[in-house]
Amino acid sequence: MMRLKYRLRTRTTRELVKLAQSGVKEAADFIVEQFYPMVVKIAGQYYGQWSDQDDLIQNGLVGLIKAIYYYKEDKSTFSTFAWKSVDSEMKSFLTYLNRRKHKILTDSLKVDLLLEEESEDKSPDIGYEPALIDEYLYEDLMSAISSVLNEDEFELFKMYMQDESYKEIADRIGKNTKYVDNTIQKIKRKIKPVIETHKMIRKIVADIERM
């Protein structure tokens, strides 16, 4: 592990981003460590606007992690892309807080079950208690999911997430259960990349929280 960290220190940011995008988590961790001061600096611009600095920094790290996995080097430098991503994420977070009406998210991580086999335990173990950042990430996830589904698919998806049975859904939309099953399977395929990216971001955020 120490040898790997030493090798990473000799890589350029561009190389580190490529490694992170290929699945080398240590490279992503190293980028987060390098750009953490930038996140703190940006958070300082918004401090006091509906959120304390710790929440802003944590949310800014979400923007940084997104930048790592969404960056394409033909667009701009990574530093510029990361700055814009962090700043945009903080603005979105502040907007979210502004319209948040003490909503209690009872099962913000239930969507993980879409990619897992059926099991008796329906409570995903994330290693820490759901908090404000989990609520924000969940809403961000639902927004991303809605962008890859058409209107009918998204409405059916929301019914499914409310634990309605296939028969209940079929009765509500005037279709048979075979149609519902086929549509749910299609939805799962379409949103799988979105959910996997969400889980990866959330895991890195959780690891940072434990540090």
Q: Are 181 and 167 in contact (CB under 8 A)?
A: no
Distance of CA 89 to the CA centre of its chain: 11
Q: What pLDDT, on the 0 to 100 scale, is given for residue 63?
A: 92
Q: What pLDDT, on the 0 to 100 scale, is given for residue 50?
A: 52
User: How many other CB atoms are there within 10 angstroms of residue 4's CB atom?
Assistant: 12
Q: Which residues contact 70 (CB under 8 A, 6 or more apart)?
A: 85
Q: What pLDDT, on the 0 to 100 scale, is given for residue 119?
A: 45
- Quote the CA–CA distance of 19 and 197 in Å, as a whole number: 16
CATH 1.20.120.1810 boundaries in the chain: 2-99
Q: What pLDDT, on the 0 to 100 scale, is given for residue 9?
A: 76
In CATH, the number for domain 2-99 is 1.20.120.1810
In order along its 211 residues, the chain shows pLDDT tens digits of 456 666 777 788 899 999 988 888 888 888 999 999 999 999 888 866 556 778 888 889 999 999 998 898 877 899 999 999 999 998 888 887 776 654 444 444 455 555 554 444 444 343 334 467 777 888 888 888 999 999 999 999 988 888 888 899 999 899 999 999 999 999 999 998 888 888 888 777 777 666 5
Tell me if the pTM is above 0.75.
no
Q: What pLDDT, on the 0 to 100 scale, is given for residue 4?
A: 60
Q: What pLDDT, on the 0 to 100 scale, is given for residue 48?
A: 63
Q: What pLDDT, on the 0 to 100 scale, is given for residue 102?
A: 45
Q: Which residues contact 21 (CB under 8 A, 6 or more apart)?
A: 68, 69, 71
Q: What pLDDT, on the 0 to 100 scale, is given for residue 182?
A: 93
Q: Are 19 and 27 in contact (CB under 8 A)?
A: yes
